[in-house]
Structure 1
């Protein structure tokens, strides 16, 4: 029995370390570490020059699938541009590709409605309210920048480990990037609130800030006037082990047995979301690096409707728990839709906090 488990584990490790791309349905489930567009292939012309025969065959298969989807009248599928085709090839399953096509259709419908609402430009009229509105926005940005700068010097940080980019599927990378994007808004709101401003550090960015797949996807969600350098977070390629000693770190994982206490140390949140595997990557990584592993004490009070919380909700909960040291108040940081009801009776909360 033990040898069978060891063989299965070695097979998973082999698949994770030896990723390759294929147009066959059997090999398409293996993970890839390179997604389009990249430094070498930025357009379809580059794809025709540098892509392998297997990748070109995969593109032909996806194009034939696209024609079948259009004929099946599932939805009003849009015509894809070259850049959209490159992104479309990153999805490994048909369901993921159909979802991507629907999202593109929604975006194009929104663009068309905006064009229809536009009226011919007339002579500009002076509106005094626009002046005060712009003045308010400028002062709001200055307040956020000052509060975030103060938080980096005074508040204890919350670390997010982005070293899992090469272990995730493309749809999982999109989910992680979306959660991080939502956490940016939470940080800005905390700077304008009476509670302490969040001090969040995106660490262990591999292979670099420019080449990390999660941050690449996150850049597409940002507006033009909000670049990566203007984000209210700290981006670093260093590991959390280089920033803080081991005794001061606590890795958060839902698979841990003991509960997290804010006095134990600086929390580290794994930047991953697994939909297709049940490997306990965060737990194994913390054990390998000999770091304390804890789980959030949410289930002491409430039952959750989801097995794993998104990253932005974890940041909100941890920040509220560290500021108030009260489970009842910290639970209000979570949305009501993920709470199904009270937890089982008999658990002693006093020994946790």
Structure 2
């Protein structure tokens, strides 16, 4: 059910009874004509004296194009009617002084999101969010213009000696300046070299149907951070995004976060096909947290697969089921062997954290060093672990507790996994 705001009904009723021209707003009018004392001939309707209603002439209103309306509603008559009601409700909120973004800043996806919300509270919260984003962007532009004016009004610095070279900001200096474009070219060249000689790693993007809209957005953000962290590493992987369907919701959000991902010169491998069609099956190892086999040693000849899924709501082992169905080898990170998890913290890691762990374990072979990317809030500290042991063993002496705490700390900080012997 699409609830119509009461203010919209009031505005339509007033305009009808006062023989005032009213129209459905599609964009913000250039001039708003204030109708004064619209309640003189309406004795039955009592409104507070501070409330004023506005009407606009049809000649000053900019309408949405038919292509935009069709893209928003899909040609459905019910959706078109809801869109008209929504436009009227949005304009009423704007006239009341509520935080509503300007229609010129409203995009097609914003109207689609508003149409999907069934309650007025949800729509107002989303409009308030868009309003804040718009004002943040406007403030950035204003600050940038102010800095430019201050830079122009700044008086020139007089040289102390004639012909002397100044090395401060804005003058000549002895070092070359590295621009962002130069850094970008360096990182891209590093990825191009990784495509030729580095180890392959696969991101399985075929779980978009198992995620909600919010989870797809979070997954796309994590994939963007994953690409950035891999690009900044000294020895990056050659990442392949497989099962990335063009019409999928995940691909749409990922394309928004990485607009140049389909450019021919951009070093990103995106495939709609499966990884089974690109790599030999005997070399594939699926990393899933639901299996029993732990990844004790990193195999430099294997092609590891990371499941591109954010499962905050659905915690079913879909990645393990997919690996079993395809007959692939499975492994999980040895988190329980090296870490003591804190109470109330989940064992889930983001996609970019998993890739950072794989980058470090490939370079160093040290799990204690690689697992430093696990957030500290999820790990139990030594004093907390000793306190839990004290509760479990209340008759343990302080000397034994100190020895246990020291052994736990040494076991966590040493470079060899527990159970392995250090050669003399």
- Give the alignment's TM-score, normalised by structure 2: 0.59
Does the alignment pair 1:188 with 2:214?
no
Q: Is the 8 A contact 1:174 1:217 kept in 2?
A: yes
Of residues 192, 198, 204, the one that matches 2:243 is: 204
Per mean C-alpha deviation after superposition, the further-off stretch among 146-155 and 42-51 is: 42-51
State how far apart, in whole Å, the 1-side matches of 2:87 and 2:286 are: 43
Q: Is the 8 A contact 2:2 2:119 kept in 1?
A: no
1:64 deviation in Å?
A: 10
State how far apart, in whole Å, the 2-side matches of 1:105 and 1:274 are: 30
Helix, strand or coil at the partner of 2:314: coil
State how far apart, in whole Å, the 2-side matches of 1:97 and 1:262 are: 50
Per mean C-alpha deviation after superposition, the further-off stretch among 176-185 and 56-65 is: 56-65
Q: Is the 8 A contact 2:285 2:305 kept in 1?
A: yes
State how far apart, in whole Å, the 2-side matches of 1:279 and 1:320 are: 29
1:241 deviation in Å?
A: 0.7
Relative to structure 1, the CA distance from residue 49 to residue 265 in structure 2 (aligned partners, 3 Å threshold; closer, same or farther) is closer
Per mean C-alpha deviation after superposition, the further-off stretch among 100-109 and 262-271 is: 100-109
**1:87-236 matches, cutoff 5 A:** 87-89=113-115, 100-101=126-127, 103-117=129-143, 118-119=145-146, 127=170, 135-190=178-233, 193=234, 196-206=235-245, 208=246, 211-222=247-258, 226-229=260-263, 231-236=266-271
Does the alignment pair 1:257 with 2:292?
yes
Q: Is the 8 A contact 2:240 2:268 kept in 1?
A: yes
What are the superposed Cα offsets for residues 64-93 of structure 1, whole Å, 9 maximum, x if unpaired? 9989999xx9x9454562421124446799
**1:22-41 matches, cutoff 5 A:** none
Of residues 345, 360, 366, the one that matches 1:320 is: 360
Of residues 347, 352, 355, the one that matches 1:307 is: 347
What are the superposed Cα offsets for residues 188-223 of structure 1, whole Å, 9 maximum, x if unpaired? 321xx4xx12321111212x3xx3322321232346
What are the superposed Cα offsets for residues 82-119 of structure 1, whole Å, 9 maximum, x if unpaired? 42112444679999877755542432221121233223
Does the alignment pair 1:51 with 2:94?
no
Helix, strand or coil at the partner of 1:43: helix
State how far apart, in whole Å, the 2-side matches of 1:96 and 1:318 are: 41
State how far apart, in whole Å, the 2-side matches of 1:243 and 1:23 are: 48
Greater Cα radius of gyration, structure 1 or 2: 2
Q: Is the 8 A contact 1:91 1:170 kept in 2?
A: no
Relative to structure 1, the CA distance from residue 104 to residue 290 in structure 2 (aligned partners, 3 Å threshold; closer, same or farther) is same
Of residues 284, 306, 317, the one that matches 1:280 is: 317
**Alignment-derived partner of residue 275 in structure 2:** 240
- Give the alignment's TM-score, normalised by structure 1: 0.69
What are the superposed Cα offsets for residues 140-178 of structure 1, whole Å, 9 maximum, x if unpaired? 233222211111122211210011123321111100011
What are structure 2's unaligned runs of at least 5 residues? 4-65, 157-168, 390-407
Relative to structure 1, the CA distance from residue 42 to residue 205 in structure 2 (aligned partners, 3 Å threshold; closer, same or farther) is farther
Q: Is the 8 A contact 2:349 2:374 kept in 1?
A: no
State how far apart, in whole Å, the 2-side matches of 1:283 and 1:91 are: 35
Of residues 331, 335, 354, the one that matches 1:298 is: 335
What are the superposed Cα offsets for residues 219-274 of structure 1, whole Å, 9 maximum, x if unpaired? 32346xx4543554311222111111222111111111111242283211111112
**Alignment-derived partner of residue 13 in structure 1:** none
Helix, strand or coil at the partner of 1:145: helix
State how far apart, in whole Å, the 2-side matches of 1:165 and 1:133 are: 46
State how far apart, in whole Å, the 1-side matches of 2:312 and 2:120 are: 16
State how far apart, in whole Å, the 2-side matches of 1:64 and 1:235 are: 42
Q: Is the 8 A contact 1:160 1:268 kept in 2?
A: yes
Q: CA RMSD in A?
A: 4.3
What are structure 1's unaligned runs of at least 5 residues? 1-21, 25-40
Helix, strand or coil at the partner of 1:274: coil
Q: Is the 8 A contact 2:206 2:308 kept in 1?
A: yes
State how far apart, in whole Å, the 1-side matches of 2:118 and 2:207 are: 18
**Aligned pairs, how many?**
302
Helix, strand or coil at the partner of 2:135: helix
Relative to structure 1, the CA distance from residue 60 to residue 189 in structure 2 (aligned partners, 3 Å threshold; closer, same or farther) is same
